[in-house]
Structure 1
Amino acid sequence: MLIGIPKILSPELVKTLMEMGHGDEIVFADANFPAASHAKRLIRCDGQSIPALLEAVLQHFPLDQYVAKPAALMQVVPGDQVETPIWAVYQEIIERKTGVTEPFEEVERFAFYERAKEAYAIVITGESALYANLMLKKGVII
């Protein structure tokens, strides 16, 4: 145990966040995401929600300040009648923790999958909201 590290952050996740360099990306995947078949490094956070992990991670993880959109969401497939209220939750957390007011780019579903394959790691969660997948690009500590 360490002081100041939220209990929701496993040792494996903390190690991965520390190993990542500027520009590396990490995916926080919902429970439906094909994480095991796409991940270079798979971190299991079964039963955890993405908002709870995001709250904890952003205490220690700088977003890339040199790109226009340091976070990416999986775009809703045209024709899907899906509400995405979780995106507003992510927006509120990111803005409160980092000050970034417009962090998101929306990435087409299959392009998101391809980009996730190149991510430093994928964190599979128990998140049940649809289209809840979130990708963060790591910045530098100034």
Structure 2
Amino acid sequence: MLRNIPPILSPDILWSLRAMGHGDELAIVDANFPATALGARCHRLDGLTATDALKAVLTVMPLDSYVPDPALVMEVVGDPDAIPSIVAEFQTITLETADHPVTLGKLERFAFYERAKTAFAIIQTGETRLYGNIIVKKGVIDQ
């Protein structure tokens, strides 16, 4: 056992978070997302929500403070100005948990898939709410 590490972060996920370098990205996605097909490391958190996964990750991983959009969500198809409730929750978690709180950026659906394809790893959750997808960029811990 370790202290202060959210128990939903498996050893494999912790390995990925530790192995990531500054600027590497992590996608946290819903149950509908084609995570395995994209070819990146895919960690499963079946039965857990994307919001719980995001909160756990941001508890241990810094967000990049050197880029304008270190956290990106998927735009709603046909209504890019819409803010699904899960995206509002992502925003609240980012503001309350991240060491570098930010306003979430957005990517069009297929641009989001392409960006996730280049992520260091993907955490696929059991999230059933639509648009439960977010990409976060790892920052540095400046002492």
| Global fold match (TM > 0.5) | yes
1:138: which partner in 2? Answer: 138
Contact 1:72 1:136 in 2 (8 A): yes
1:6: which partner in 2? Answer: 6
TM-score normalised to structure 1 length: 0.93
- Measured in 2, the distance between the counterparts of 1:86 and 1:40 equals 24
Task: Could you tell me which runs of 5 or more consecutive residues in structure 1 were left unpaired when the two chains were aligned.
Answer: none
Contact 2:26 2:135 in 1 (8 A): yes
TM-score normalised to structure 2 length: 0.92
C-alpha distance after superposition, 1:87-135 (max 9, x if no partner):
1111111101125241x11101111111111110111100011011100
Contact 2:24 2:137 in 1 (8 A): yes
1:128: which partner in 2? Answer: 128
SS in 2 for 1:4: coil
SS in 2 for 1:26: strand
Task: Could you tell me which runs of 5 or more consecutive residues in structure 2 were left unpaired when the two chains were aligned.
Answer: none
Contact 1:86 1:129 in 2 (8 A): yes
After the TM superposition, list the runs of 4 or more consecutive aligned residues in structure 1 that deviate by more than 2 angstroms.
none
- Measured in 1, the distance between the counterparts of 2:53 and 2:23 equals 20
1:29: which partner in 2? Answer: 29
1:69: which partner in 2? Answer: 69
1:116: which partner in 2? Answer: 116
- How many pairs were matched up? 140
C-alpha distance after superposition, 1:17-62 (max 9, x if no partner):
0000000000001000000100321111111101111111111100
- Measured in 2, the distance between the counterparts of 1:117 and 1:83 equals 24
Cα RMSD for the two superposed structures: 1.5
- Measured in 2, the distance between the counterparts of 1:89 and 1:65 equals 21
Contact 2:71 2:102 in 1 (8 A): no
1:95: which partner in 2? Answer: 95
